[in-house]
Each structure stands twice: as structure tokens, then as C-alpha cells.
Structure 1
Amino acid sequence: MKQLACLVLLFCLGSHTLLRADNVSSITAQDPIVAFWTWFQQHQNRLRLFESDPGKYLQEIHTQVKKIGDGLTIELEPPQNGIINLTFSADGDQELFPLVRSIVDKAPPIKGWHFIAFRQRADLSRAKSMQLKVGTLTLDPQSMKFFPVVTGDTLDIIIYVKGLTQANYADVSYHGLLLLDNLLGEYDCVMKVRSYDFHPMPAKKEELDTLQPLLEIASYVDRFHASRKPR
């Protein structure tokens, strides 16, 4: 996420030669990521004004990002201390993860911008305030539970939801995964848990006592993988 259009200079053996425009076009044509960052640098000052019309500017950036690959998404955050966070996401598609990493790895340093690969975890205070409406049901992480299923070094997780039925299972599981994406962060949600399933909240106390609060899922996943790292 960053700054002014600048001349591209080729430094070679102490001398410097101006790259011809047709050479620049050739380079960017071969690498759509380079082409994106060239465009971004040329427009970054104007893009800093995105809060005046967020939808317009997000669409403009997304149009350019789509030239790199379908399925990529972006998120812009209001500036903090003069820094704007621009997040590139694979929207949970594992096959696009290397592409997201490549985009951020090739980002040029641009003052006032910070480029991030993958949607990040919500902090605990924000996680507590998250609620998703699914028909007449409200998914509230403060009232949801989880149970880890461990098979060797593999982790599967069952999520327990009050009011889950066969009729609303598809909607609840879809929105539940969106919630998990926020609680774990996009990368960990996909890469550190093999699968998720959603079950109705049990009524019996002895069953409830075996479950863990959903807000603690991130710390559990971290501990699980840390305990399996070679020492």
C-alpha cells in the first residue's frame, strides 16, 4: 500500500540507465503482480482518500487485483497513526495462498501503507462483540462451544451452536466458518485445522462440561501445534 509514481532506474556497475517505457511494459506484461504494484504506486496518493467513497475505491483496487487472479479479495482499514492497512485475501481458498504471499512479498515500500497477507485474527474485545444473524438465529461466539478431535498430529473441530437444526445447518455452517475465519485468522483457519463440523448444543450438563468456550479456540489451536513442534 504506498506512494508517488517514480522513475524506474536500472543501476548497473556504478552507472545508471533509464529503463525505456517499452521495457517496463514488457516486464509488467510478464508479471501481473509487478503490473499491479506499478499501477498502485502511480495512484496511491489518490487511493489514500478511500474513506470519502469506500465502495468506489475498493472496487477500483479489486479490479486491478483481479488481473492477478480470480478469487482474490482485499480489505482496507482506516488509517491509524497515518498508516493504512491493505489486506490481500484468498477468501479461504488454499490454492490461492501462494499467490497472496507472492503479492505481499513483491510489494514495494510505500510510505503510509502496510500490506498484509491474509485476514488476521480479531482481538478478544472485537471477537466478543461479533454476532452474525442467520435467519432467526444469532451466532454469538460468547455462547458457542467447541470440542477438539485429535488424531495424531491432525486436528478436527466440532462447533456447538444453540438452535442448530437440519433445516438451518447449511446457513449456520456457512456463517459459522466466517466467524471462525475471524477468530483464528484466515491462514490458521484453513491450514491448522483439517475440518469443522457443527452440532446442536447438548442439553446435558455432563456433555456441556466436556466442551470449551469458542472464544478460546485460537489459544487452543496455538497450543496444539506448539506442542507438536520438534524440540
Structure 2
Amino acid sequence: MNIKNIFKKKKNLTEDEKAERFWSWFQKSQNRFLFLSDIDGEEKENLLDEFLTEIHKFNENVYFEIGGHKDDEKVELIISAEGDIDYFPAVEKLTELAPNFKNWKVIAFKPAMGTGFSLDYRDKKFDPEKIIFIPLNSKSNPESVGLNVCYPDFEESDEEIFVNGTYLILDTILGEKSTTMDIDYLKVIKTPENIADYNFGHLSDIAEHIAEKKTYANNG
């Protein structure tokens, strides 16, 4: 006797359909997130968890930030791949398919914010005006950007903290996409005792350094 399967096979949604599903949810739920910065405690955590669950239904490697200046007309919704280039196309796809919202500005990737700031990360202070980098040059690929980023208190046991703090600084100065696409090599080291012998710069000037490299490549 043939037994028919009465359960329908679950449809595998395309990327476009997943994006449309996410934006359909967001259109219905958007007002609950407009004043997220004014909410504290468990309620805020629940909203963030809900949003993360929904955006991960589109892609588990795509993330978000909600913010912007309180006097801005629109709240910023930043879609991010957390610097993972493999998922940049997913970020671009999701933002391309975003509807126009009256109260929201949807942005692909963490935008460049420039300098004039410092941040505390894991009990360490990161100030781009004080952090030194030594440019590295490649004879075979002269337009590539390589950096040794120097810290006087660097210890190998804390390497992860220094690396993550450095990338947080770069993401803020350059934006997520430029940090990932324009920097080919980065290593965190202890500041050399003879640092004065090097042609070093400060991370606050990193955008200018990258621009010079690109100019060299275009004119070369």
C-alpha cells in the first residue's frame, strides 16, 4: 500500500524572498524601534534580540545598528557584515531591497565617521591621535596598504584586545567597507625602541595614507 506524504515540503526561499520577508516584518514593527535609545533594561534587550532573530532569518552573518543623532529627521538603520567580506553582497542585497521609510535611513555598512574621538575597549583606551602605525611597502604590489600598528604596552597575551580595539578605531574612521577593502595587511606590535628612526604616522591620518596609496596606483 502506498502511503502518501501529507506534509508539504518546506519551500526554500530565495535571497530576494528572504529580504522581502524581513522588510515586511520591519514595516509592521518599525515603530517599536524608533525610540530604542530611550529604552533601558530588559525591554531594550528583548527588542534587540527580536530584531537580530529576524535579520538572521535573512542571513545569519548579517548584523545591524540602530542610532543616529537625536535631532536628525530619520533614525539610522545600519546593516553590517561586521567586516566579513564574504557577506558584503548580502548586506548590499538587503539594503538595495529596502523600501523607502518616512522615519528611517537604511545604510549599507558602518559609515566613516572621521576622527576627533577616542574609545575605551576592555579596560584599554584607544586614541587615534596617539596610536602610531608604521607603513609597510611591497615592491611587487606598491599600491597595497600594509600596517604595523604600535602600542607601548602591547603584550602578546592581550593581542586579541589590541587587534579588536584597532579595528574598532579603523571602522569608525574609515567605515566598515574601506577598512576591509583598503587595508591589505595589519599587524599589532610593541612600539619599537627606535621608533624615531621610522617614517611613522598616527591612525588619525590613516585615510590620507590610503588616499596617497590609491593615487600612486592610479598614476603608476
**Alignment TM class, shorter chain as reference:** 0.7 to 0.9
Question: Which residue of the partner structure matches residue 129 of structure 2?
Answer: 142
- Percent identity, aligned pairs only, is 22
Cα deviations by residue, 1:38-94 (Å, 9 ceiling, x for unpaired): 111122233323234343333222211010111211111144332101000001111
Q: What's the CA shift for 1:158?
A: 1.1
Q: What's the CA shift for 1:220?
A: 1.4
Question: Which residue of the partner structure matches residue 164 of structure 1?
Answer: 154
**SS of equivalent residue, structure 1 residue 103:** helix
Amino acid aligned to 1:229: N
Q: Does 1:84 align with 2:83?
A: no
Cα deviations by residue, 1:10-62 (Å, 9 ceiling, x for unpaired): xxxxxxxxxxxxxxx99889710011111111222333232343433332222
Q: How do 1:26-175 and structure 2 match up within 5 A?
A: 31-53=17-39, 54-78=44-68, 79-125=70-116, 128=117, 130-134=118-122, 137-151=124-138, 152=141, 153-175=143-165
Distance 1:30 1:118 in 2: 19
Amino acid aligned to 1:224: K
Distance 1:30 1:179 in 2: 33
Q: Flag the 1:150–1:119 CA change in 2: closer, same or farther, 3 A.
A: same
Residue number among 155, 168, 175 corresponding to 1:185 in the alignment: 175
Q: Taking structure 1 as the reference length, what is the TM-score of the superposition?
A: 0.77
Q: Flag the 1:166–1:114 CA change in 2: closer, same or farther, 3 A.
A: same
Q: Does 1:211 align with 2:197?
A: no
**SS of equivalent residue, structure 1 residue 120:** coil
In structure 1, the gaps of 5 or more residues are 1-24
Amino acid aligned to 2:211: D
In structure 2, the gaps of 5 or more residues are 1-10
Distance 1:71 1:26 in 2: 18
Distance 1:192 1:158 in 2: 15
Q: Taking structure 2 as the reference length, what is the TM-score of the superposition?
A: 0.81
CA contact (8 A) 2:65 2:78 kept: yes
Question: Which residue of the partner structure matches residue 15 of structure 1?
Answer: none
Q: Flag the 1:162–1:175 CA change in 2: closer, same or farther, 3 A.
A: same
Q: What's the CA shift for 1:148?
A: 1.9
Q: What's the CA shift for 1:155?
A: 1.6
Question: Which residue of the partner structure matches residue 222 of structure 1?
Answer: 211
Instruction: Give the number of aligned pairs.
Output: 202
| Superposed CA RMSD | 2.6
Q: Does 1:194 align with 2:184?
A: yes
CA contact (8 A) 1:76 1:87 kept: yes
CA contact (8 A) 2:115 2:128 kept: no
